[in-house]
Structure 1
Amino acid sequence: MGGDYYVSLEINRNATDADIKKAYRRLALKYHPDKNNDSGAYEKFSEIAEAYDVLSDPRKKATYDKFGEEGLKRGIPSDLGVNGAWTEGYTFHGNPEKIFRSFFGGDNPFADFYAEDGSDIDVGFGGLCGRGVRKQDAPIERDLHLALEDLFHGCTKKMKISRRVSRAFGRKEKCGTFRFVSVCFFSSDQVMNEDGYTSSIKDKILSINIKPGWREGTRIIFEKEGDQGPNCIPADIVFVVQQKNHPRFSRQEHNLIYTYDIDLEKALTGFSMEIETLDGRLLNIPVNDIVHPNYTKVVPGEGMPQSADPRRRGDLIIKFHVKFPEKLSLQGKKLIKQALTL
């Protein structure tokens, strides 16, 4: 951001939580792109969203007040923390509309602030037109386990979800829960519950397009596919990439690591080896150097693709495990000594 969050919200540093909310509400309505056609409105709208995201959170605000923006975004050493203050670096998620929806509620919350004649409606903090502020539930996170080959080539994974949707007789309110379906099959027939709600199970297939080069920890977000309720916005469903162990390769950033077993003779005299790559090619790699304990062989461009540009790839780094003989005869020791003194 590179500015002062208090200045962005047009408040002073003694502002209360209510003052922060009031300032954000006023400025968010003023600079919302749907209402303001100025070319710089969205930038300002994003700026005040980031400011509110920090100042409305007590831990982020405490870190910012004491250590400034640099300390907030880079993190602070744990020995400088106060009462267990948050010490991880902060990064704004870059979605000001999400902040706006979370604050005001609704799929199209901006529409709630206008009467039919187009005039603004004054709304207090107690709720929207007496209905209460709709808040978004916390994201539902699930691990997505992928083979190294999937992350190398890219692929499409399909996940089946089932969501229970309930409807009150004569109303438009809905509520429900989200869960993953593995073996069980749920009927979509409606039934009447004791509380007067009819409920049904609706299945949906989510397609996840895995890009070549994605790393472990990559998050794939499906907005508002989770729980529903009359006073809440459906939760986002978040899949977090987890890489499965591979029998031959391990991964470091964009590089692939391969460990090759050799005996002492080859380590001292040289050899050639064959390695099958993740895309099925067979690499013939000569090693003419003496393989000492810290020796590695680097094959450029044979690692993982980079997700930003799959044409660029990391390196294949070969490490060696030298197998020493368990015992030697006297004659063998004598010959080795003679050879090493030449």
Structure 2
Amino acid sequence: MVLIWTQFGVKNKNVNVKCKVRPMHRDDSSNSTSSGESKSDQEVPCLSIKPMGKDFYKVLGVSSDSNEDEIKRAYRKMALKFHPDKNSEADAEDKFKEIAEAYEILTDPKKRSIYDQFGEEGLKNGGGMSMSGQTNSPHYSYHGDAHATFSSFFRGSDHFDIFFGTDADGEDDLFNPFSRFTFSHVGGGGGPHGNDGLRRGRRRLQGLAVIQELLVTLEEVFHGCTKRMKITRRRLNPDGRSLRMEDKVLDVVVKKGWKAGTKITFPREGDETPNNTPADITFVLKDKKHSQYKRDGSNIVYTAKITLKEALCGCTVNVPTLDNRMMPLPCSDVIKPGAIRRLRGEGLPHPKMPAQRGDLVVEFQVLFPDRIPPQSREIIKHSLAKC
């Protein structure tokens, strides 16, 4: 008879099984085996067992001895290719999640070590299997947010800006889904776990936030206001698959003194798809051009036009305010072009302290005559002889 016993040597992804074989004769005693190994013992390969489950190296298109930088480069390439907001193929989302899962495991030294030794089953079994092949610890399953993994990987990098089309001013362009929405001004001054084909326990992805400019006048910023904005968006029908178009009016509250660039976000009020939670809608304040003022933070600048005579001889300028008053501004000194005067506390409210206000800055523009009569020229020469 032949007695075979095995020793397991584990390396990389494959479990290489080697057998030590020693021939035994019928007349050998069962107790005659010495504690040492016989010289006739031979160690020969017996069989090679490949772990069952996904080949995460193959998913990312890298070899099993790839370093972390190579894995990151491969993930960047694959994630950009299969991101659902860029790839419209039916299986793009599943592929994207599989890529994220592979990246999470292969960039975690502990998980990668377990995976290299025991494969995906080893991860599910907590790093090992019992002799009967049954699990001996809780199952591992991927519960990551593929979109969050993607965003955290690319956030702050050139690749994120290129993919999402974000320019220096924070505006979305290339792949901005804003074009899917219709906005109009109509007056007035999913749970954490998904369904519908997603694997149980996985979080649903969320579409990119929709950015929309919200024009406001300086008077609206001065007093505060509520803007009613009508949107048209896609929503799921009760069957969880088909979509319908629906209108909704959002009340955007603009508080006193808010500056241009202030963002007001309505969570999950945008488009919804079977596999995504609704996108956020963000309104970004933008000052509407004013006929009389320019804005400078909490200050407003008013240009007062005066004649050369008024600039030299003095005058009183009536300055309009945002709350429809006229403020007299006496000027007895000579006023040079570009000179400024301030009306303290007549500007816009400070956004953090609305009870305090900026200044109304009066900038003078001197209007020179096109011509001077000869007799007036002589008088001016005589009057300004010592100037």
- TMscore range, shorter length: 0.5 to 0.7
TM-score by length of 2: 0.51
Pair 161,61 (structure 1): closer, same or farther in 2 beyond 3 Å: closer
1:306 aligns with 2:350: yes
1:208 Cα deviation from its structure 2 partner: 1.0
Match in the other structure for 1:128: 199
Distance change (3 Å), C-alpha of 1:51 and 1:301: farther
Equivalent pair of 2:227/2:252 in contact (CA under 8 Å)? yes
Letter in 2 for 1:324: F
Shift in Å, 1:107: 2.2
Q: Which residue of 2 aligns with 1:158?
A: 228
Alignment match, 1:193 = none
1:207 aligns with 2:262: no
| Greater RCO, 1 or 2 (C-alpha within 8 Å, sep 6+) | 1
Which of the pair has more CA radius of gyration? 2
Write the distance in 1 (CA, Å) between the matches of 2:233 and 2:158. 37
Q: 1:88 to 1:207 in 2, by over 3 A?
A: closer
RMSD: 3.8
**Amino acid paired to 2:383:** A
Report the alpha carbon displacement of residue 223 of structure 1 after superposing the two structures with TM.
0.7
Change in 2 beyond 3 A, CA 1:285/1:326: same
> Which of 256, 270, 283 is equivalent to 2:300?
256
Secondary structure of 1:209 counterpart: strand
Is 1:317 matched with 2:361?
Answer: yes
Alpha carbons of 1:339 and 1:233: their partners in 2 closer, same or farther (altered >3 Å)?
same
How many angstroms apart in 2 are the aligned matches of 1:232 and 1:275? 54
Partner of 1:55: 153
> For residue 199 of structure 2, what is the amino acid of its counterpart?
L
Runs of 5+ consecutive residues of structure 1 not aligned to the other structure: 1-11, 27-48, 64-85, 91-105, 113-125, 178-200
Corresponding residue pairs, total: 233
When residues 21 and 150 of structure 1 are mapped into structure 2, their CA distance, relative to the original with a 3 A threshold, is farther
Q: CA deviation at 1:51?
A: 10
SS of the residue corresponding to residue 312 of structure 1 reads: coil
Identify the match of residue 143 of structure 1 among 210, 213, 224: 213
Which aligned segments of 4 or more residues in structure 1 are displaced greater than 4 angstroms?
Answer: 12-15, 17-20, 49-54, 86-90
Unaligned runs of 5+ in 2: 1-67, 76-99, 111-146, 161-165, 171-189
Task: Write the letter of the residue equivalent to 1:129.
Answer: R
Displacement of 1:88 in angstroms is 5.5
Match of 1:107 in 2: 191
- Which residue does the alignment assign to 2:243? 175
Instruction: State the identity %.
Output: 33
C-alpha deviation, 1:133, in angstroms: 5.5
- CA deviations 1:115-148 (Å, max 9, x no partner) are xxxxxxxxxxx96338x76221122222222221
Per-residue CA deviation, residues 167-222 of structure 1 (Å, 9 max, x unaligned), is 36xx4446345xxxxxxxxxxxxxxxxxxxxxxx4x43311111111122222111
Contact 2:192 2:204 (C-alpha < 8 Å) held by counterparts: no
- Relative to structure 1, the CA distance from residue 51 to residue 299 in structure 2 (aligned partners, 3 Å threshold; closer, same or farther) is farther
Contact 1:54 1:61 in 2 (8 A): no
Answer yes or no: is the 8 Å Cα contact 1:176–1:227 preserved in 2: no
